[in-house]
Amino acid sequence: MFLSEAEAEAALRDLRRRRDELDRAIADHQLYLELGRRLPGTAPVREPEPEAGPPPAWVPNRAPQAVAGASDPARAGEDLVAARRHGRALVAAALDLLHEAGRPLHAGEILEGLTALGFAVPGHDPVAALNTRLWKRSGPGGPLRRLGEAVYAPAEEEEDLG
């Protein structure tokens, strides 16, 4: 019925790790919302209510609502989840493109491939927005490795070269 001291400490470590992940996700989305609100000419995008069933992992040629600046607090959590799914799908597709190319690619080249796959990267400068997203995922333990200004390769290639 009661947890041992070791079990309680393990549970606390797990909860703290999950809290840190949530704090990072919240900070990322707050930054995206703030940047979206500061861009000139951007207006909140209202999407129709989704039908029953899980939302798609990504929606081609459309910016997630959270990035565009959703104004309905009741839907804010759903919008953030959709934006997160879109971001993960975007990075996964970028990794696929890097693997297919067999060489490092510039963010502009990656954007061309993503656009051909039906992805849209919101923002005034989509290459810069994509570069920022890829740069954030190129840190320690991330799936990407940054080789130069806006040039990326899959992280696992580093292990193959070393």
Model pLDDT, residue 23:
81
What does the DSSP 8-state code read for residue 53? S
Model pLDDT, residue 58:
46
* Residue 67 near residue 36 (C-beta atoms within 8 A): yes
Model pLDDT, residue 89:
86
**Residue reference for tokens 């999407």:** 47
Tens-place pLDDT, residues 16-37: 888 888 888 887 777 777 777 7
Q: Which residues of the chain have pLDDT under 70?
A: 1, 39-78, 157-162
- Domain locations along the chain: 5-45+62-161
**Percent helix / strand / coil, the chain, rounded to 5:** 60, 5, 35
The helix (H) or strand (E) run that includes residue 68 is: helix 65-68
Tens-place pLDDT, residues 100-110: 999 999 999 99
Residues whose CB falls within 8 Å of the CB of residue 45, separated by 6 or more in sequence, listed in order:
63, 65, 68, 69, 70
* Residue 99 near residue 154 (C-beta atoms within 8 A): yes
Q: In the Cβ-directed half-sphere of 63, how many Cα atoms lie within 13 Å? A: 21
What does the DSSP 8-state code read for residue 58? -
> Could you give phi then psi for residue 154, rounded to 5 degrees?
-60, 145
d(CA 33, CA 68): 7
